[in-house]
Amino acid sequence: MKILVAVKRVIDYNVQIRVKEDGSGVHTDNVKMSTNPPDDNAVEESVKLKESGKVKEVVAISIGEDKAQETIRKALAVGADKGIHVKADNYIEPLGIAKILKKIVEKEKPDMVFLGKQAIDDDCNQTGQMLAAMLNWPQATFTSKVNLKDKSVEIVREIDEGLETIEVNLPAVVSCDLRLNEPRFASLPNIMKAKKKPMEQINAKDLGIDLTNRIQQIKVEEPPKRKAGIKVANVAELVSKLKNEAKVL
């Protein structure tokens, strides 16, 4: 079996983002970037399946500017076999990303596509489901457990009420939740080896897809700030304030 795993380069989750004064977006210059956290889980699960012998090949793909290759190299360093970089310099909406991935799926013919449930920058949570719909494949979202069988995969998903178990036929799209596994760190020798692994480069423009964004971003602003409150001296004062001032008790 073969897995295509999609990774996105985003502002590191530990960075406090800063909104640009002109409302056009957030500052990304000189900001630490890293792999979208649940995409790391997607890579880890793909590599684990390869180590179990059920999967023969793991191909990592990223779509974006040249620096997206760093994200692919990181996936290669923890065990992916080959990289595909689809070069695109502008922001592409999940609909366009799913269309690009569909083209790559048609070419690479994987049995499964793994990706993170959501990117922590635009917070859309769409790409995996859209790709599945375009391919007419079943999907598993918010995956926290994977049990791969011959022609299907049994999945435990995290839903608002608790956990749900489903079984989907292969090929399928699997979007991963953070609790699926514990992503490993790349060792230095593996980082060096990853530099020699193959990386195919494709220009998004050459795929023959209309990638015009349909959603216009009018402005980005800081959320209204909370007013700093007061410090209370002791528990009795706290309870008294909650009861008499805030009236929530």
Partner 1 sequence: MSVLLIAEHDNSKLKPFTLNAITAASKIDGDVHVLVAGANCENVTKEAGSVPLVKKVLWCDSPNYQNYLPENLAPLVTKTAEKYDHIVASANTFGKNFMPRVAAALDISQVSDIIKVSSPDTFIRPIYAGNAFATVKSNDKKKCVTIRPTSFDPAEKNGGSAQVEKIEAVDVPNTSKFIKREETKSERPELGTARIVVSGGRGLESGENFKLITDIADKLNAAVGASRAAVDAGYISNDHQVGQTGKVVVPDLYIAVGISGAIQHLAGMKESKIIVAINKDGEAPIFSVADYGLEADLFKALPEFLAELNKLNTIQK
Any idea which residue has 């979208």 for tokens? 36
**By CB under 8 A, what part of segment 44-103 binds partner 1?**
93-95, 98
Does 236 contact partner 1 by CB under 8 A? yes
Instruction: Identify the residue among 33, 166, 191, 209 touching partner 1 (CB under 8 A).
Output: 166
Q: Which of 35, 85, 158, 204 contacts partner 1 by CB under 8 A? A: 158
Instruction: List the structure tokens of 22.
Output: 């002109």
Cis previous bond, 171, omega within 30: yes
Residue 188 makes contact with partner 1 by CB under 8 A: no
Per-residue binding letters, 111-150, with partner 1 (x by CB under 8 A): ---------xxxxxxxxxxxxxxx-xxxx-xx--------
CA 125 to mean position of chain CA atoms: 9
Place of tokens 């593996």: 190
Dihedrals phi, psi of 206, to nearest 5 degrees = -85, 0
Rounded distance between C-alpha atoms, residue 196 and residue 192, angstroms: 8
- The smaller minimum CB distance to partner 1, of residues 152 and 190, is found at 152
Report the C-alpha gap between 113 and 96 in whole angstroms: 17
- Who contacts 187 (Cβ-Cβ below 8 Å, separation ≥6)? 77
Task: Tell me whether residue 80 or residue 92 sits nearer to partner 1 (CB atom).
Answer: 92
30 binds partner 1 (CB under 8 A): no
Q: Which is nearer to partner 1, 65 or 164 (CB)?
A: 164
22 is an interface residue for partner 1 by CB under 8 A: no
Does the protein bind partner 1 through residue 199 (CB under 8 A)?
no
Structure tokens given for 29: 């210059």
| DSSP-derived 3-state class of residue 18 | coil
Q: Which is nearer to partner 1, 30 or 234 (CB)?
A: 234
The gap from C-alpha 124 to its chain's centroid, in whole angstroms, comes to 10
215 phi, psi to nearest 5 deg: -110, 125
Among 29, 53, 196, 249, binds partner 1 (CB under 8 A): 249
Q: Tell whether residue 31 is a contact of partner 1 (CB under 8 A).
A: no
246 lies in the site for partner 1, by CB under 8 A: yes
User: Which CB, 106 or 160, lies closer to partner 1?
Assistant: 160
Query: How big is the site for partner 1, counted in residues (CB under 8 A)?
Result: 78
